[in-house]
Each structure stands twice: as structure tokens, then as C-alpha cells.
Structure 1
């Protein structure tokens, strides 16, 4: 087996069947010089009379590890053991390694990196090092036939690796002239083995390497364009004398005149450095870090020659579970951009961005994107594991963290308050389990998170001791909210209205309460469900009193307020017609430009669709100006931007101090593409795609639409095309999945195949199989 060859990771059941009680020690190299210091290894030589069958190696670490057995890499997982709230649990991986063993002398060597465990996290103004501890360490146990062959203990040795510095934000430096040697001993650390859990999600893996699509000189350096922004590193092949050096810098975008610009990385050095050993062709990629980039700038010194360079994308979700295409190429690129942003930020936890000095598991981003995430990839284990971190970080008062794993819980930042408790962010504890239930049908995720949901609801009520939440303006104060983060205001000489914090917070108070009431009923907590429904009535009445004028206009008359209020049925019946008119005028007055931020954007098009205003939805979705989804595409984006105005029309980079070009939040629009435009939505009464609700929204400008999604029953497909006044719609449902074709009063002449049909008020059941449906469509609607 080659050094980089694949090896299947057994499941937890396989690895521990028959179950083996782990007895190894967590051992720290005595040569370790602390955070940012030279890399270390721990190792042990051992003898075997013969090679045992079914030998399994269990591995974990404080920090990150890369293991070698007799010089060959163990497995092909990356960034192991992964990222968790390490004071709660640390994952371990299990590998079948019989093929790597040999009779006689063997050697297990484990290289260690700082990783998330003790690398600097947070941004430069609030840096936190050694978040979960200041000692990197390894845990290893080799078992076969129910007995332990080797375990990490005080007899192991340690030494330095060629990795001279590493860190999540720092990058990695490697001096190939350094030969690992056993120079030091190890220290057995106090460690509770009960914290060890089998890896809870799919491992981080490499995707296919990508060659540059272009390159050009930049002074004494060369810039390479890989054509795709993503989370990755580069693998290089170089040749030259010993001591020659390769420096690789990264950026997501270029400034005017193709200027290399990574100012938005802020204090993250984010570089790869390689010093040659001078022995023929040398191939290298880092082990303990990753970057977010499309462009790489390479500087060669000391006679180094670059023979090849490839971008190697990495992710926890490399396999697509869904796709959407239509007749508008920019929309197809938008969907692909969303997929790449998800891949880039689904690395152990759902992060905001993969490039700068942040890369944190923001709960607000995750909750708005959870539905889209489950359409585009199998996220059941990934998000279930993330929720365990969120629950561990939940504060005693019920506040849910702004991000998880949360470095500030163990290291509070003086003067910044508690980094927990924002509405829209903390609601992840309710919304993500619900999306997992809809997509995968597992009630266990609801039950597992239900106590945390109740604690969160009690916290929300406590902010203002009542249904209307009045958040403080002070950042970090009890009940602080981000509101509709980055909501655009248009022309700053005459800005458009935006939602106020109290309205945004109270809207989400209602959303979380309603959903938890529904979950309580599903779980059989009938008294809880009744109490929550009673509380829901109080919140709705208070919301209507506080935020609606007698004329029916909502307080701030902005797109986010209207979208969330209509989507979640918080507009009183008496005000619905007036509200529809106000909502329409707000959209038209904005010139069909988006006026929503992080929490409003996922609701905007679904709300317009729910109200039958598909003409507005189409114009807003397809506008090419800023702010708009397709503006990003036409500016050359290959991932989703953090800010609508991240690059100006003249190509200038806006506010590099807070500007990521790989943030998935606004990609949440893809949920609407699947569920509304393609017309396939999970049926909450038959979760896990046991049933779907079928109701396509026809947008003539798209020409045609096709979607597919691999659910637990198999592949769902749907497609529509327009021919004259008729829409032809094809749906394929796998065995075990049935549908309900929903009525639409604006449509006439329904047919399935050649047979005319009338759709009853509650919808028409459709069995598994393929269905060809047609109907008349009013192009003016």
C-alpha cells in the first residue's frame, strides 16, 4: 500500500465488534515547546511473531494526528480526530491495519499538530490560545482477537517532525531536511477515557485535485488561478538543492488589474512553506491545516523549481445528494456556488468561512442553511454531531452560543459579555433538529435536543419577562441580538427601512415557540405542547399589538419584517390584504433589489411565493444588480459571499476587515428552488421523505427546471417545461415515498398522463413511481 493510498475506515460497530475496552494512556511528547512551536511525534517499536488477522488500530489525540505504521500512512482521513467541545468528548478513529503489519520489528509513529485544540482561535482583537488545553498528546491502541497488542503508555518515545510550525490560521511550515529521531520521552497525562467517542460524523477527505486554469508572473512570484474558491491546500512537486524554499500564499479574489489581494484574511497568516531536502523530486502537502482560496501565489528561492501544483479541496461532505438546473445558466452557477460553499464550510462543524481568522461554527448561519444543506448533501450525522457541541456550550441560563464549539465559554473575553443568547442564532437548537427530522425521519434527534429547546424558550421569555423581546443595544449584554445581520439599506443618502431588534427578536420568539410546540406533540409531551400553544397565542397577540398599525402596516415596513411575519402566519387576518399591498410596494419601491440580511433572506422568496406573488419572486431572484444573488455570479463568484456588496461594480473589494467570499448563508435560497420552484417539499406529517408535497412554482424566465435528490428511499426527480399555455411536469418517486399533489386555484386543465383530473382541497395522493402531469399556466400570473 502506498503512503497516500486509501484505506476504509470501519464503522464504530465494526471497529468495536467484539467490543474492546480501551485502556491506553493519553501521552504527551516531552519535546513539545507549546503552541506554534515545532511539530512533535510519539512512537513505539514493537515485535510480532506473526501478523494477526483483523488487527484494528484505535487512534485519538489532543490536537491533530497523522499516524504511520511501518512508514505507511494509516487511513486517509484528514484533520483527525476532528473538532468537538473537547472538554465534553474527543472522537477516536478505528482502522483495520493487518496489511500494514509484518512479522518481526514494527514501528507506530504518530505526528501531532496543534489543531483546533490549542491553535489560536478567534480574531486578532480577541485571540484565544490553548482553548481546551496546552498539551498536544496521542492515544493509540492496537487490538486483534480480543487482546491488546500495543497501547500508548509511558514507555513510548518522542521527537521532532519536519513540521516546524502549524496552526489552523497560521498554515504549515515543513523542513524536509529534518529526520524524525527518538530524542525524548513522553508524559502520561491525566485523561478521562469516558470522553472518547467513536467519530460521530463522516471524516474529512480530499476531493479530486484541481490543476491551475491560468497563471501569470507577479514580480518575483507566480500567481496560479484554480478557477474555484474552496477550502483546500495545495500539493506541490518541486526539485532543487537542500535548503531551497517554497512559499505559498492564498487569496479568494483579485483586485483591479489582477492584483493579488488577501487583506480579508485579516490576521490569519494562512501560508504553506516548504524547505527542500535536496533529493530528487519532492512532493508535499500540509497535514494539519487548510485554507480558503481560489488563487495561490508562489515564491521560489534558493534554486527551487516548481514542477507541478494542484489545489486539493477538502470537506466532510464530498458526495452530492441533490442537484438543480434550469434554463438560466447564472442560476445553475448559483446552485453550484452554494454546493462549494457548503463543502468548504462543512469541515467537522458548519463554519462561517474557511479562510480568515475566524472559521467558527456560527449557529445563525447554520440554522438558516440547514434545510438547503440537507437537500445538497447527506448531513444527518454531521448536523446531529454539531448539535451535541451546541448543547454542551448552552449556558446554564438556557442561552445558546453564537458559535460552537465555543472558545469563549472556557475563556470569557473581558468587556465583551457572554457570546450567547442571540435570537436567530440560538434558535438553531430548535430549527436544525426540525430540518433533520423532516429530511431523515428520525424522532431521536428531536428527543435528544428537546430539553435544550425548552431551556432556550425559557431564556427567550426571561429577556424581557414576557412575549415581546426588547434586546439591549449593548453588544454581549443579556438578550443581545444580531437582528437581521448585514441587512442592506440601499443608498445611504436615503436608506431603505430595516427591521428593529425588538421586532426581529419577537418574530423568532414566535417561530421557536411554535416549532417546539409541534415537536412536543410529536414526542408525546402533550402537557408541554398545550402550554406552548398557549404561550404561542400570547406571543402572537403581543406581536400584533406591538408591531401593527390599525391600517395594517407593520412597524418598520421592511422586507424582512414582512417576509418573516407572512411566512410564519404572524400577520393578523384583518391585516392580510393591507399587508400584501404594503409588502408588494416595498419590493417594487426597492426596484426588486433584495432588502434582507441573514435571517430575512431565507424567508423572502418563500413568503412571496406563499402569497402568490410569484411575479415579484421571479424579479427579485433574477435581478443582476447589487444586492442580488446573480450579481455575485456575474461578478465571477464561485462561492456565496458574506456580503451582498462584497465586490463593487468597479471591481473594488469592499471592507476587507469583514468580507468573506465563501459564506453559505445566502445560499439558503436553494431550499426554495427545491421545495417551491421544483415543487418537492418534505411532508412534515410523513417525515424522512415517506411523503412529499408537490406544488411547483412556475417562473417563466427559467424556461425549464430539473431537480434530483437522493433520500433514504432512493432518488426523487422532478422537472417542468413550458410549451405554449401548458406546463408539463414530471415527477419520479422511489419505492417507499408517496406524494400529495396540492391544488392551485390559478391553474386549470389538470391532467395525469392523458386523463383529466380534479384535485381535491386536501390534495391528490400519488403513489411511488413516475407521474406525468400537465396543466394550463397563466403567464401573466
Structure 2
């Protein structure tokens, strides 16, 4: 089966990827009972005298679809047509189905699920149902050689599927005793075909199935399976038994003390599967229209049935890993692996915060802090561009950017919390994500597409307080409200450590986005806007100094986030540099290595320390095994990244299950530092897309040996180093088309590249091939 992506690629085959112009109608099953009722299908029989050599089926849906031709599944894509702002555009897929056709009678059947289109979105206190519509429907057109063989119209039939109920949060109930049969007609639905676009990124796919690593039976007879990995996934079951026997599958991410099965953190998400056997020999089942976030599955069998096999099937939109990092510390290597799993689990059509609870939303703050890491670990170009189109569509008339996108609250405002848009650090995704796409892929088209939205966002920021300093209101949802450094740890609550204030955090991001958009304007040739924004960024910088720096050089809140962001983005006045570094070092040392940063501060902390030469502190904080810390999670058995530093206590107790995800990629943003600073492969804005890199590894002795690789548009870059008795040996491999800059810095004694001395203060360039660089540390 050949699946046509937005790029026209179909595995090893290539089909035309041009825009398809549908002549078919969007049709809805007349028997559709609405959201949370039994699933339905639309179907049509047609006859062929001769099977064509190539026949392409193009189709989409309101809701989710699973298509069959002559009883065989069409394609292997999952959760099609995907998730977008459906009032802006809906993806369609195209498949070469010639091998599924037969001479004589043929039957096409399209099963429909509620999906994101109309099943519950948001949490129990503010559930949104039927967000984009209350009718599911399908549009399909089968063509061969320019001839329409069959298409959806009012002649189709409809009926009920074995999917008794489904929903993204709900899960799926399936009764295999039900055989689909034509029982009703269809309704031609009002639908604008101009909304249909080719799928803009890779389809969701299955990864290799995982077998259980352990299992046990609870006192009441239920069996728990441990798959050894937390993932966005579903289970595949093989069963045998009598008709009417049932199997129930519950999911959880963690176990409480004494292996207590605990999924309270799923909140109102039922997140279960129920399967009723047909009694027809061995039966195989995996959900069609949903997925879960879990490591553990608990099986309850009712009636005469036997589970003969069970596997976990992880799913993702980014199945291919594009980068890797290993060191001499096993738990660091596991941390990188955990980040890869959290990206896979949450890069399912949209970059979501989590795959398990009643949320699973495309939070912009999480996405912007992780965007750089996302591009290192997977080819995220088309995935993030698709997401940015939803962010642009959700942007409010006043320029505020949604907290998450696609945003159900734009169409269905939630009372009592104001507009769910406009937080600094979150809305800045409209600037920062396109910039990362430019750095990693040389994608200036992403900059151009997002540039008008960037300008509207910057005008919104300036307007919050009518000037360079942003003074956000404390009331949730009020105009200009900010999440600040979300989940920033404060230490002992009897004597909490200092944290960044909202005005400082908001103004920092005001500067970051303004300065960055000025650069983008220059790249795009928007010289007038560039000059205006450069002037504005200087105004913000001057105001920031006046508002937040004391004459001693101390920043107002003297916390790790304030210092890290101020240093990393050039907001520390030069005359305060020496004093400021002293304050920053002291603030980092006072915590004895534990982290004092939340969502926006964490990605900046280690890069700031490293680039200031405080590699000893960066190493200590990174390798800290106490809470809060990255390796604390690994030591507690984490196989993905946690939402909260303190998500699980040392005795295994769950902290605050009402807001606690164990698969939340944001803190995995530290991997960008591992690639760019520790391995030393820095992409350059003047030669984007890895046409040229700066090779500048930071030597953290405890991590030796370090090895990293990354697949670029030119091929694979490899870099690594070892430290032995104060002597560093680096290996750098560059593909054709890539060059690397190497600087003769004063702290690198006896620097040599391929046996030739590199003078201090000089810069050389290395071309394609393998290079050996040595120096004394």
C-alpha cells in the first residue's frame, strides 16, 4: 500500500503530491446519533470491468476515519485525517489502492469516529463537546487515469460499526459481534471543499510493538502488564473465547507503593478499552480512533475468554530519530532516551503537553521551549510548520497568541477565566519556533509565513502596559496575564528561594521576541520593520536595566531564571558583567546543585552557565540526583520526562495527581544544550540549516566520553570528545556541503586540528570529512 504524504512520498514510491480538487460531497450517516454514541460508516458498491494499473483514493472526514476496500484496510496511517483548526483547513490523504480492487463488484466502506472534532476536549470543570461540529462525515473520491470511478454523494448507504463508543479521552468500546450492514441512507452535509489541503506533515504511524517486561495478578484476579516504557500508544490484544465475553483494559503511567495501580492523574479521561468477543476463533484487536499515555495496562476478563497475547504499540508523527547523544554516564543517556520517547508520545499530529489525561493540548509554551531540541532529535520541520498554521489561525484580533493550539476555547469561550491567550513565554512560540526552523532547516519560508503574526504579537505585548516594561495582572485570564516561569521550584516552603516576578519574566520575553523579530525582518528584507524593531528592542533593554538592575549589578529577584535569561539574551549591562556573574554563581551555588528554574528558565540555565565559563556549576546542576533535578527522575525509574520536578517522591508517592503528567517533554529541552554546548555543534544564523556550524565543545569531565550525531539536509554530522589526564581529543565528521568554524580560544592550550597548530585568536574552517582536534583543558 502506498501512502501519499504532503510531500508526495509513499515509502519507496512517489505519487503526485499536487493539490487534489474534489468534486465529491461531504456526506454524513443518517443513523449518526451524535457525540458519544455508536460509531457509524458510509459505504458504496461499484463495479469494474477491468482493474486499472493505478487508482488513487483521496479522502477526508469530519471526525476520524478508517477506510476499507473489499474488506481490506486502506493504508496504515492512524488518526486520519489528523488534527487542525478544522474551521481553517482539514487535511486529506491519498492512497494508491489498485491492488485492493477486483474485477466485478467492489465495496468501499469508511468507518467514522468522533476524534478531536467532536469528542470531549479540555478538562472536567470546563469540558467542550462538539467543538467543530456535531456531525461526523466523509468525503472520498476514487480516480483512475483522470476518470472518477466512485465518489461520495447522496447515493451512498450508512450503518453502524462495532465501535460502540469512542473519544480521544474516553477510549474505545468495541463489540465484535456487530457486523456492519447497510441500514440507512446518508445526508449531504454543508461543507466548503476549499478547506481541504494535502496532509501537511507525516501521518501518525505505529512504531515497533513492545512486549511486556513483567506482569502480575492482583488479589481480585485482574492482571497488570508492565511494558517497561511510558509512551503514547495503545495495546494490541489477541483473544479467544465465547461470544459476549468481555475484556477491559485500563491504563496507568506509574504505580504507587506496593505496586498499586494508580491513574488518578488521568482526571476525567476514562482512557480505557472494552472489547466484546465475537466467539469466532482467535480475535485480534487494537483501538481504531483513540490512543493513551501509559506504561502499565490492567486487564479484567469477564466471562469465558483468554488473553493469548498482548503488546504495546507506540504511535507518533515523527517515527524516525534524527539525532543521538551518549556520554560516560548511563543515567544521562537514559535521560536523552526519555526525551526522545516524550517527543514521540506528544508529537501526535500536534505538539501536546501530555498524551494521557483530559488535556492533550498543543500548549505553545511547552512547544517553544522544546522546539530546538525537537529539531535535534527528529525531523520536525513539516510537523512544526503545520502547528504554526494553527497558532496563526487561533491568534486573536488584538494579536494575543493562544495558550494552546488548536484552541477549543476560541470557538467556545470558558467563563470565569478570561481569554485563553496572551501569556508571555507561551505566545512567543510564534517567533521562536519559526526561528528554530530557520536555524535547523534554513527555512526562510516559515519566517515569511509567520512574520505578520509576529508583528501582531509584538504590538500586543507593547500594548499590555503601553510601553517596554510589561506589568501583567495577577488575576488569571485578565488582559496580559502570564504563566511566568511555570512550576518554578521554591525549595523549602518554610524559607523559599527567590523566584522571578511576572513583570521581569514578561519583559524578558518581550525583549527576546522583539530582538529576534528584528533579525527576522532583516533576513526577509523588511528593512523598515527591522529598523523599527531594533529601536524598540533597545528601548526595552534600557527600560529593563532601569527597572530590574540595582547600581551594584544585582538583578531584582536574584533567582536562577532571571540571571540565566538575562545573560543568555544580552540584557546584563556590560559595566555590571563582573558583579552579575558573581551574583549568578552565588545563586547557583546556594542551592547545592539543585535546579531553581521552571518552564521558561530551565532551557536557559545550563547554556548560560556554560557560556559564562561556569562549566563546573553546569556539570554539578546537570548531574544532581536530588529533587529538583533531571537525574532524580531517572533514578526514580522514569522512562519519559515528567511535568513536575517533584512528580514522584522517593517513597513512590504521587505528588498532586490533579496536575501531574509523567510524559511531558518540556524539561527535556536540556538536550539542546547537550548537542550545542556539550557536544559543541552549534548551528549558525548566518549559515542556517547546518551549511556551517561552530564547533565549540564544553568539556564537562564527568561526562567523558561524549558522542553525538545529527542527520541534516546534507547528511550526518558526528561529534565527540574524550578527556584523559587533562588532554581532550575530539572527533568531528562533516558531510559534503557542511563546514565548521573552530576558534583558537585562550583557554584551549596547544590547540591542534588534524595535527596543525591553531593560533590563539584565530579562526579556521574545516571541510567535509573526519577531523581530529586536540587541546589541553
**8 Å Cα contact 2:208/2:314 also seen in 1:** yes
**8 Å Cα contact 1:15/1:56 also seen in 2:** no
Change (3 A) 1:73 1:765: same
1:445 maps to what in 2? 446
2:605 maps to what in 1? 604
1:759: Cα distance to partner?
A: 4.6
1:125 maps to what in 2? 125
2:11 maps to what in 1? none
1:774 maps to what in 2? 774
In 2, the alpha carbon distance for the partners of 1:753 and 1:413 equals 63
2:204 maps to what in 1? 204
1:709 maps to what in 2? 710
1:415 maps to what in 2? 416
1:11: Cα distance to partner?
A: 5.0
1:765: Cα distance to partner?
A: 1.3
In 1, the alpha carbon distance for the partners of 2:205 and 2:170 equals 21
TM-score, length basis structure 1: 0.98
**8 Å Cα contact 2:4/2:17 also seen in 1:** no
Q: Secondary structure at the match of 1:370?
A: helix
1:21: Cα distance to partner?
A: 2.5
Change (3 A) 1:488 1:116: same
User: Is 1:9 aligned to residue 9 of structure 2?
Assistant: no
**8 Å Cα contact 2:115/2:168 also seen in 1:** yes
Greater Cα offset, 49-58 or 227-236: 49-58
**8 Å Cα contact 2:37/2:164 also seen in 1:** yes
Unpaired runs of 5+ in structure 1?
A: 1-5
Moved over 6 A (4+): none
User: Is 1:162 aligned to residue 157 of structure 2?
Assistant: no
* Aligned positions of 1:206-285 closer than 5 A: 206-218=206-218, 219-285=220-286
Q: Secondary structure at the match of 1:333?
A: helix
1:10: Cα distance to partner?
A: 5.4
1:615: Cα distance to partner?
A: 0.4
1:754: Cα distance to partner?
A: 2.3
1:575: Cα distance to partner?
A: 1.1
Superimposed CA distance per residue, residues 594-640 of structure 1 (whole angstroms, 9 cap, x where no aligned partner): 00000000000000011110000000000000000000000000000
1:29 maps to what in 2? 29
Q: Secondary structure at the match of 1:771?
A: strand
Q: Secondary structure at the match of 1:8?
A: strand
**8 Å Cα contact 1:171/1:271 also seen in 2:** yes
**8 Å Cα contact 2:438/2:447 also seen in 1:** yes
Superimposed CA distance per residue, residues 259-315 of structure 1 (whole angstroms, 9 cap, x where no aligned partner): 100000000000010000001110100000000000000000111110000000000
1:743: Cα distance to partner?
A: 3.4
Q: Secondary structure at the match of 1:111?
A: strand
Change (3 A) 1:654 1:429: same
1:746: Cα distance to partner?
A: 1.2
**8 Å Cα contact 2:233/2:292 also seen in 1:** yes
In 2, the alpha carbon distance for the partners of 1:743 and 1:420 equals 47
**8 Å Cα contact 1:9/1:75 also seen in 2:** no
* Aligned positions of 1:480-629 closer than 5 A: 480-629=481-630
Q: Secondary structure at the match of 1:367?
A: helix
1:195: Cα distance to partner?
A: 0.3
1:116 maps to what in 2? 116
Q: Secondary structure at the match of 1:179?
A: coil
Superimposed CA distance per residue, residues 93-144 of structure 1 (whole angstroms, 9 cap, x where no aligned partner): 0000000001110000000000000010000001000000000000100011
**8 Å Cα contact 1:708/1:717 also seen in 2:** yes
1:745: Cα distance to partner?
A: 1.9
**8 Å Cα contact 1:461/1:469 also seen in 2:** yes
User: Is 1:314 aligned to residue 309 of structure 2?
Assistant: no
**8 Å Cα contact 1:417/1:477 also seen in 2:** yes
1:688 maps to what in 2? 689
Q: Secondary structure at the match of 1:352?
A: coil
1:645 maps to what in 2? 646
CA RMSD, Structure 1 to Structure 2 (Å): 1.0
In 2, the alpha carbon distance for the partners of 1:157 and 1:560 equals 60
1:766: Cα distance to partner?
A: 1.2
User: Is 1:86 aligned to residue 86 of structure 2?
Assistant: yes
Superimposed CA distance per residue, residues 423-454 of structure 1 (whole angstroms, 9 cap, x where no aligned partner): 00000000000000000002111000000000
Superimposed CA distance per residue, residues 9-40 of structure 1 (whole angstroms, 9 cap, x where no aligned partner): 35555655786531010000011111110000
In 2, the alpha carbon distance for the partners of 1:754 and 1:132 equals 64
Change (3 A) 1:19 1:617: closer
1:414: Cα distance to partner?
A: 1.1
In 2, the alpha carbon distance for the partners of 1:334 and 1:11 equals 33
In 1, the alpha carbon distance for the partners of 2:540 and 2:17 equals 51
In 2, the alpha carbon distance for the partners of 1:96 and 1:11 equals 15
User: Is 1:102 aligned to residue 102 of structure 2?
Assistant: yes
In 2, the alpha carbon distance for the partners of 1:682 and 1:619 equals 26
Q: Secondary structure at the match of 2:95?
A: strand
